[in-house]
Structure 1
């Protein structure tokens, strides 16, 4: 299949924006998925191909947060377990079913987070010194991570909001560390999903790698911003992105 070079350039540019958004909040795939379909990819193939950019973006972000000492490794495996189980379930489901089934979940989660940020801002942005919980201490957080894995494995777009609800809201991480762990989870279950999609022959490598160049650049820049930004700045950026994601989900 031949691709329009100009459209590939636009895809890379959108990848930069998506990588920046995904690292700080979520919803960047609402930009890249439609662009992949503009290139001529069917929805299921676009959904699978999008994961190439997400995986490489996640690798850059995790390395960046770890380099700056913002990645809490103590609970990583306990946090990864439910997301990996959910991610495998979601990816297999996505490979076999139309990728519209979980849209109500996305909308419900984003709308809930928007209200929570307005009404109870300390829930999603815990004050400094708030004790962190492990997943074994919070069943709701464990369930949230499992649901995030299913949703992320299925369709990806907006999964960052579900992960942040579990990590910042449920486990009480500050937003910088929650974003670092969010990217670890995203990298893990998206890698599982990508392997499944490759086995089903649904990944197109040229647009996938072009997109990845953009997402990696965006993620690198976003980590640098997150390390130096105030938590309140990240919180309101997250709020703005929930509104944008709501509008995008209603439109699409």
Structure 2
């Protein structure tokens, strides 16, 4: 088990991850490798990462929620499906090797990023039509499928959620608020699951969680202050980082 000196780099990395995740998702691509670098076993690293992630995603959700950037009537319908999907994904890990899908997911996420960036107006204007048949037809199965992916593999979950919400008409700031809310729910579900397993390293996860929450608070406020154009630039950077993380695993 590592010593307390690992927090010298763990805390700033957790802060940075919280900031990035609150804006465009992908914070786990920073914190999970950091925990591995500290010398934690895979089981301890994954469980501890979920511990600190609930701080960051919860803080970001609170910021977006209180400023009205979360479509509550929609996300309340999607959270149960995302949770069920996440549980199913975690179950499927026992039967299918996730490594076989990493390259495919990396290619898909790069394609998604290219679509967002190539269309200059995509995600910059809010055109959400409400709870229409089209909205529900896209988001209900989408939340379930992304939930399965989150439980099965994980990296890029927030990025996929943001694309789903922009696809139905949200600008990127509101898409980020909705995505963080769904992601908080799936993180909380995973946290409760790992809590029962007793694999969390609390003395690392709690301080890194607080740093992650501080970064997430700043990131969410920056996204709301700077607007969808800023989020779009960050989104493009995160897409590349997540794809690299998947390919270099």
User: Is the pair's TM-score, using the shorter chain for normalization, greater than 0.5?
Assistant: yes
Residues 1:43 and 2:42 are matched in the alignment: yes
Q: CA deviation at 1:131?
A: 2.2
Residues 1:200 and 2:204 are matched in the alignment: no
- Where does the alignment leave 5 or more consecutive residues of structure 2 unmatched? none
Residues 1:180 and 2:163 are matched in the alignment: no
Whole-angstrom CA distance in 2 between matches of 1:207 and 1:99: 27
Residues 1:227 and 2:224 are matched in the alignment: yes
Residues 1:214 and 2:248 are matched in the alignment: no
Residues 1:161 and 2:164 are matched in the alignment: no
Aligned match of 1:115: 114
Aligned match of 1:27: 26
Indicate if the aligned counterparts of 2:26 and 2:242 stay in contact, CA closer than 8 A.
yes
- Where does the alignment leave 5 or more consecutive residues of structure 1 unmatched? none
Whole-angstrom CA distance in 2 between matches of 1:4 and 1:213: 19
Residues 1:55 and 2:51 are matched in the alignment: no
Q: CA deviation at 1:133?
A: 4.5
Question: Which range moves more in the overlay, 70-79 or 28-37?
Answer: 70-79
Indicate if the aligned counterparts of 1:53 and 1:213 stay in contact, CA closer than 8 A.
yes
Q: CA deviation at 1:121?
A: 4.0
Runs of 4+ off more than 6 Å: 95-98
Q: CA deviation at 1:74?
A: 1.8
Whole-angstrom CA distance in 2 between matches of 1:100 and 1:89: 17
Indicate if the aligned counterparts of 1:153 and 1:190 stay in contact, CA closer than 8 A.
no
Indicate if the aligned counterparts of 1:13 and 1:214 stay in contact, CA closer than 8 A.
yes
Q: Over aligned residues, Cα RMSD in angstroms?
A: 2.3
Q: CA deviation at 1:246?
A: 1.9
Whole-angstrom CA distance in 2 between matches of 1:134 and 1:48: 38
Indicate if the aligned counterparts of 1:44 and 1:99 stay in contact, CA closer than 8 A.
no
Whole-angstrom CA distance in 1 between matches of 2:134 and 2:63: 28
1:53 and 1:186, CA in 2 relative to 1: closer, same or farther beyond 3 A? same
Whole-angstrom CA distance in 1 between matches of 2:100 and 2:197: 20
Aligned match of 2:16: 17
Indicate if the aligned counterparts of 2:127 and 2:169 stay in contact, CA closer than 8 A.
no
Q: CA deviation at 1:31?
A: 1.2
Indicate if the aligned counterparts of 1:135 and 1:141 stay in contact, CA closer than 8 A.
no
Equivalenced residues, count:
249
Matches within 5 A, 1:76-95: 76-94=75-93
Whole-angstrom CA distance in 2 between matches of 1:78 and 1:134: 13
Indicate if the aligned counterparts of 1:70 and 1:180 stay in contact, CA closer than 8 A.
yes
Question: Which range moves more in the overlay, 238-247 or 137-146?
Answer: 137-146
Indicate if the aligned counterparts of 2:86 and 2:149 stay in contact, CA closer than 8 A.
yes
Residues 1:144 and 2:142 are matched in the alignment: yes
Indicate if the aligned counterparts of 1:151 and 1:159 stay in contact, CA closer than 8 A.
yes
Indicate if the aligned counterparts of 1:45 and 1:202 stay in contact, CA closer than 8 A.
yes
1:69 and 1:9, CA in 2 relative to 1: closer, same or farther beyond 3 A? same
